[in-house]
Structure formats: C-alpha cells, structure tokens
Structure 1
Amino acid sequence: MNAPASFDTDLVPLYADHLATMKRRADEALARGGFDHLVVPSGTQHWQVFDDRDYPYAVNPQFKAWLPLTRLPYSWLVYTPGERPKVIYYQPFDYWHVVPDSPSGWWVDHCDTHIIRTPDAAAALLPPAARSAILGEPQSTLGDHAPNNPEPVIQYLEYQRSYKTPYEIALMRQAQRLAVRGHRAAEAAFRAGESEFGIHMAYCTAVGQDANDLPYGNIIGLNEHAAVLHYMELQRVAPDPLRSFLIDAGASFHGYASDITRSYAYDTGSEFQAMIDAVDAAQQNMCAGVRSGVDYRQLHVDAHHTLMGILKDFGVIRVSPEAAVATGVSAAFFPHGLGHPIGLQVHDVAGFAASDRGGRIERPAGHPYLRMTRVLEPGMVVTIEPGLYFIDLLLEEVKKNGHATSVDWARVDAFRPYGGIRIEDEVLCTGGDADNLTRPAFGEAD
C-alpha cells in the first residue's frame, strides 16, 4: 500500500533540503578524515554456504540515507564536495530475476546517474581509492576499492543521523500509517480467534509487506508467549482459551522503519485489561516527557518507578516502588530498556555517542539493556516502550536473591497466563512539546 498520490510531489522540496544537509555533513566528515571523496556501496547479495541461494538483500544504511533506493545491490553513491552526487546504478541484463526499474523519483534531478550492466563496471566510475572514505561491509570490495570505514567519518555521520530532517520525518510518518493498518488488522484477527501465524498473515496483508520487506520480524504472542520479549515462533493453532495478545510490529517506507507495540486482553472487562489501560496511560505520560534537555537515562529510571507503582496498585508487589527499584525487583518485571533511537535502522545508531568525535555514555548501573543514554535534542526520534511481564526465569531470580517477600505470588499466578504487556510509540523531540508520531496514525485509522 502506497502513500497518497500527492505525497511524492510533497517530498520534492523536502528531499532537496535533505540532500543539502547530507552534503554539508559529508563535507565536514571528509574534512575530519582527510579525504576528498565519499564512496558508499549499496551492498551485495550474500550467498548461503554450500548452496546457490542468496539471503534476503539488506541495503547499506549509509546508502539509503542519501537515496530512497532499498533494492539496488551492486550500486554506489559517490560524493565529492562541490559536485553533484553520482549514483552508479546497477541494472543488469537478466532474465532470471526482476531487473530494477529505470531511475525515477524525486531524487533523480539532483544526481548524476550512470547505468551499469555488470558489477565490475562500477570500478571505472569510482574516484581514487586512496583519497576516498568508503563506507560499507568488506564484501562490497571492488578491485582496490575496499571499505575502510574511517572512524572520524563514521562517528560524525552517525552522530548527525540522530537529527532527522523534515524529509526523514515525512517518510517516518508514512511508515507509521502503514504499520497501523497492520496493527488494526492484527487486532481484528485476534478477536476472531486466529492463531499467531494467522494474525501475522493478516498483518502482512494489510501492510502490503512480507518478511523481507518489514524492518524486523513480527513479534506476535498469544497468552504466555507475550512474556517472551522477542517471541517469533508463530504457532499455527490458537490456544484455548484466548487470554491476551502482544504485537510488536512495524513497516518500512523508502528505507525508514516504524516500530509499534500494542497489548490486548481478549476479555475487555478483565483485570488484565485494566492493567493494560494503566500501562497505556503511563506510557502516554512518558511520551510527553520527550523534551529537549531531558536525559533519556532518567526517563528510563523514572519509568521503572512508574511501572512499579502500577504493580503496587494491582497488588503484585508488596513493597514501595522505590524499594522495588533499589533491590532490583523491578528489573524482573521490566527487564528491557525504555526504548531506542529509530530511523534508517530500527535500533538506530549513536544511541550511546558522547559526541560527534566518539566516546560513549554508559548505561545506568543495573540497566544493561538500555539502548539510549543521550540527552534529548530537537530532531531526535526515539521509541517509548514500557512493559510489564511475568517471566518465570526472572521471577525465580527474585526468590534466589532473597526478595521473595517483596512479591505477592498469588497475584503473580493470576497474571502469569497472560504473559505480559508492552506499549510502544515513536516520539519526535522538538523545541517544545513532544510530537508523538504513532498516536495520530491510529487516530487517522479510526
């Protein structure tokens, strides 16, 4: 499913500004690294060992940062300061596979495009390797053009990717709309009694993307499976009775990802639905906390206290939220991070970057899975995904660590068959109020 007909037209001026930003960033990155040219291969196909089958192709994120081309292996982007970007566009003569369409779209008028019919033909169009910063995987090596990934260049460009341009935000909003179509179809399939596999298929059909198009594998868990953070087994038979449903699924749009999670109780009048509602309300408050100057680490720690307050209200823990956090009990119920940067990659780069020259901002002690430790600034997009789970392995650790009395185990037993809850939106940090990219997409769908 595509964007409205006017969408591509609207992107024309946005892309021009985006490309100007990319050039400025590349100019600075090359100056820092002491190079004359930026060379970015799109990536190659990977072949399975002892077989003639290839793995699904994944484009180099550094390539799709410049161009909305995600299915173009063996191609190259070349930028030299002061010149128009050069796109070396691989369009083979091939009757075994679908050949990429001729170059078209909002980007073509801004680049010099050269069609090649064989991968080796790119070599004659590339600038001298010794003076080039070549960003890519080792397999993209062509002749003496081997990716060198110079740290000063990579560090600067990845750090700057934290600040999304209006063009990127437009693409990310459309990725939200696509994913929401899938989420609505998935909920309907759950209510109709479909299996995890059936729900997955309903999602993919509604989005119009299959497993190779989606930005990550769909997490679709019914009942206890919702307690497995990255559950992807997709059972073909629905459990009986149906109690709960957790779906963590996104969509791709011209190289940009969405990442949305929702949780549902089959019985909308149940106590578990009341807990979902409490997490949802808390999550919206957390989203509103995405503001310039706020330390994301503090948002994460505050989320632990808020979620433990919910468990206290539902009688699951006997101690105060502060005590649950201090003793590590909270980590048994909320074992992952509050969220992560998102954009060209689902878990986007530079979440720990201390500056555009390198360095790392460490996670808070006791929170090993947090993927974002920076202070928020305008232009950043992060996910906010608090969760509460009833995971046997972690609950046993609570007992082993001497904190069994902190928990009402009868209440745990009551909620264990439902697995867990996670609610996730994407939020843009602005100079003022937080801009939730996800909730309006659900509003449009409704």
Structure 2
Amino acid sequence: MNLQELSALYPEHLATVSKRADEALARGGFDHLVVPSGTSHYQVFDDRDYPYAVNPQFKAWVPLTRNPGSWLVYTPGSKPKLIYLQPFDYWHVVPEAPSGWWVEHFDIVVIRKPAEALEHLPKNASRCAILGEPQSALGDYGAFKPNNPPAVVNYLEYHRAYKTPYEIAMMREATRRAVRGHRAAERVFRAGASEFGIHLAYCQAVGQDAAELPYNNIVALNEHGAVLHYTELGRMPPKPVRSFLIDAGASFGGYASDITRTYAAEGESDFQALIDAVDKAQLDIAQRYRAGHDYRQVHLYAHLTLSIVLKDFGILKISPEAAVETGVSSTFFPHGLGHGIGLQVHDVAGFAESDQGGTIAKPDGHPYLRLTRTLEPGMVVTNEPGLYFIDLLLDELKQGPHADSVDWSRIDAFRPYGGIRIEDDIAVTEGDPLNLTRPAFEEAAE
C-alpha cells in the first residue's frame, strides 16, 4: 500500500466522519462524542483474556487496532483528541508511540494508566455520547460508562455504509493480502495438505494470526463444504480428496476483506464444470450491484440464476421459476447473497430503513439475508452465491411436497463434494460495479 496515497486520502475521510459526528450529536442533543477503544476481557473462572477486538466506532477515526484503554474525543468545531494508552508494562509489549499519516490531524495525549484518561475527557459525562461496551466505563459509579444513544448510533451506523475513497483504499490492501493467502491455500491443497495445514499456510502468506483475521477461516475439504461455517480444521486430509472450499479474508488498518473460492481436485471434471457455472452466474449477478437496485431483488435474481444452473446440470426437474416460487432453490442456496463489509466483515445497518432507525423487512422465505437496503454509491457489498448439498436440507426436501422436483441420483453424485461458493467484494458506484477482488487475483498471477 502506498502510504503517500493514504496520506492524501485521509483528510477527506476525517472530514467526512467529523461531519457525520456533527449531525449525530445534534440529533442526540449532545456536545461531545467519546469513543473508547475497548478493553481486554478475562474468561470466566480463568486468568486468560479473550482476543482483544477494537471498538469499530473507534477505528472509524484512526487506524489503530491493538490499543485497548485508549479514547477518541470529538467536539464539533475542535480538533479531535486521541487519548493514547502506552502503559508502563514489562509483562507485555507496549504500543509504540503514535505515528503515521494520520497523527497530525489529532491532539494526542499519552497516558500511562487507564484511569488517567479521566483527566482528559470532557468534564460533564452527561453531555457526552459515549459509544462502546460496558467494560469500557471509567470513573466512580461508571460516570463514563457508554450510553450508546440510539439517535447517535443509528445515524453513524447508517452512514457507515457509504465508504470514503480512503476506506476503499484500505479495503483494497486488505484484499491484496487475502489473495496472497488464497493463492497459497490452493497450492498446498493441490499438494495434499490437511484443512489445518491449509489454514496455517494461509495465515503465513497473509502475515496474520487467526485472531488478527476479520473472521475465522472456513477451510473445508469434500463434504465439509456443505457446512456453511465450517471451522473445525481436520488434521488429516480425507481419502480421496475431491474438493476444497475456502472462505477467508484479511485485515488492514481495521478494514476487512471477505473472499471465497472453490476448487475441484484433479480429475473431478463434473464438479469443476459446476464450479465454472456458479462462477459465471456470480459474474452475471455482480452486474446487478448498481445504484438504485433493491438488494432484496438482487438476492431473488441470484436464486433464479442459480436455479438455471441446477436445471442445466439435471438436478432440477421443474422450471427455475418454479424452484424459486416453491422454495426448492433455498434447499441448495440457503443463505443470503451478501452483506455490507468495511470496518466489520458483516457491517452494520444492513436492514436500516433510514438514519433515524426502522427496519426494512427481508423477503418472505429468506430469513438469512443480511442486507435489505437499496444499493447506493459508496456501498461495498459481498457477492457470494453458492450451491450446496446439505444432508439436513435435502432430507427435508425429500420428505416434503416437492420431493419429485429434483433428480435424486444427480444429487447423490454431487453430495461427496459438499458445495460451492464464489465470493467477491463489490463497490457500488455511479456507473458500473467496481469489483475489488478479481483484479487482486489478476495482479497476483502476474
């Protein structure tokens, strides 16, 4: 990543988040925005802490992800303040002094103990919108306990869907890193590695440990590809190896990428043909990621497109339209088409009716769709259609009124392969959709 590019893009990003904060505070009737970075949590009945996860509201302002006990304070009309915890500690590595393209835009105060933050926070906590989790409270009786006022949170989360050019640049770098991992994962898969071995190769190539990744890697061989969130990581490869599905991303400066690819083992030509068909369908669906399109309708279009694939491969005996109308298509494609992505892999406010709250309902029969908003420029949304052969859902279909709508012998032929998912991250623009994922694969192949 070109740091000069980030330095040029960051001031506009900071101006955008500041403007949003101005409006959010006005709506909530507050004078200050106070955002703790979060704290480490100990496991119950133990002295080990859970992996630290930074408050997304904090890293929206600064690219800091390993700084528990720090605080962001913003008062409209003033330079934002960063209260930066750099403790005296010989048990753990102490965060380095703040540096980088962003530091000149903040008043930075370094503290050595968490309680010292009280000296630098606004004097009247009741005039503050404090966004975070309860464990971040400071002061007697929790004076600076996060209050998360809905008017403020609703506004900020709704508008977080619209990414700044700086954020797109950060996500591009997260994508480049993830693609390095995907390339390494495919190589070791074809060399005969286990799921665990593939996972380790991925982390090594990305340069991130499991706790640093934006979500737990899904590394699935054979039938395991039919488990949508398979994370068990077998220590020995199955015999024979037929297929490989990997859903894995990477992080950069607090931003996430989310990529899925599916591969057939050598000689598995029928399954490879099905992968190719889903890949072609995914590219077709991507053209619907345009400003003004209701994402619920894009999701339903994906069901129709995938049902055409099922029909072409002799799995469906009814028309693709009938498969969607009867819900048969959901047996093979049971999850949502995609979700917003950015500071979180499943970014917030996917169902928000407006920046004042409210909910846009999901389509009937599609309970797992994570986004129901109309697509607008600046949104970044995943496109992840899939076809799966899931025993539980297939058994329900066989026992239901539409059992004769499919060719069960064709289904049995594909069951040992688990499933297929192809996923890219796509930015909605004023014109054509901008695929953030495929160009990174092309660059990696050069």
Shorter-chain TM-score tier: over 0.9
User: Structure 1 residue 98 and structure 2 residue 97: aligned?
Assistant: no
Q: Are the counterparts in 1 of residues 242 and 268 from structure 2 also a CA contact under 8 Å?
A: no
1:117-266 correspondence to structure 2 within 5 Å: 117-127=112-122, 128-143=124-139, 144-266=143-265
Of residues 36, 45, 55, the one that matches 1:41 is 36
Tell me the amino acid that sits aligned with residue 26 of structure 2. A
SS of alignment partner, residue 198 of structure 2: helix
Q: CA deviation at 1:267?
A: 2.4
Letter in 2 for 1:70: T
Q: 1:399 Cα shift?
A: 1.7
Aligned AA (1:434): P
Whether 1:445 aligns to 2:444 is yes
Q: For 2:7 and 2:59, how far apart are their aligned partners in 1? A: 16
Deviations 1:288-333 (A, max 9, x none): 2110000110010010011011011000111011111111111110
Residues 110-145 of structure 1: CA distance to partner in whole angstroms, max 9, x if unpaired?
A: 000000000000011111201000000011110111
Q: 3-state SS of the aligned residue for 2:211?
A: coil
- Where structure 2 has 5 or more consecutive residues not aligned to the other structure, the ranges are none
Q: What secondary structure does 1:154 align onto?
A: helix
Question: Aligned equivalents of 2:96 and 2:26: distance in 1?
Answer: 35
The 5 A counterparts of 1:267-278 are 267=266, 270-278=269-277
Q: How does 1:10-409 map to 2 (within 5 A)?
A: 10-127=5-122, 128-143=124-139, 144-267=143-266, 270-409=269-408
Deviations 1:374-431 (A, max 9, x none): 1000000000000000001000111222111001010011000000000000000000
CA deviation map 1:83-112 (0-9, x unaligned): 000000000000100000001011110000
Distance in 1, Cα, partners of 2:167 & 2:291: 19
Within 1, Cα distance between the matches of 2:266 and 2:303? 27
2:210 alignment partner, SS class? coil
1:204 alignment partner AA:
C
Q: Distance in 1 between matches of 2:178 and 2:104?
A: 30
Instruction: Give the equivalent residue in structure 1 for 2:435.
Output: 436
> In 2, distance between residues paired with 1:35 and 1:351?
26
Give yes or no for contact 1:43–1:75 (8 Å, CA) kept in 2.
yes
Aligned residues: 441
- SS of match in other structure, 2:235: coil
Give 2:240's aligned amino acid: P
User: TM-score, length-normalised on structure 1?
Assistant: 0.98
Seq. identity, %: 71
For residues 441 and 271 of structure 1, the distance between their equivalents in structure 2, rounded to whole angstroms, comes to: 28
Moved more, 306-315 or 261-270: 261-270
Aligned AA for 1:140?
S
Structure 1 unaligned regions, length at least 5? none
Supply the AA of the counterpart residue of 1:432: G
Is this contact kept in 2: 1:267–1:273, CA < 8 A? no
In 2, distance between residues paired with 1:151 and 1:272? 49
CA offsets 1:315-367 (integer angstroms, 9 cap, x no match): 01110111111111111100000000000000001110100111100100000
- How far apart, CA to CA, are the structure 1 residues paired with 2:352 and 2:230? 29
* 1:8 CA displacement: 1.2
Q: Which amino acid aligns with 2:38?
A: G
AA in 2 matched with 1:239: P
Whole-angstrom distance in 2 between the partners of 1:137 and 1:157: 16
Structure 1 vs Structure 2 CA RMSD: 0.7
Cα distance in 1 for residues equivalent to 2:218 and 2:115: 40
Give the stretch that moved more between structures: 7-16 or 389-398: 7-16
Superposition deviation, residue 268 in structure 1: 5.4
Equivalent AA in structure 2 for residue 66 of structure 1: W
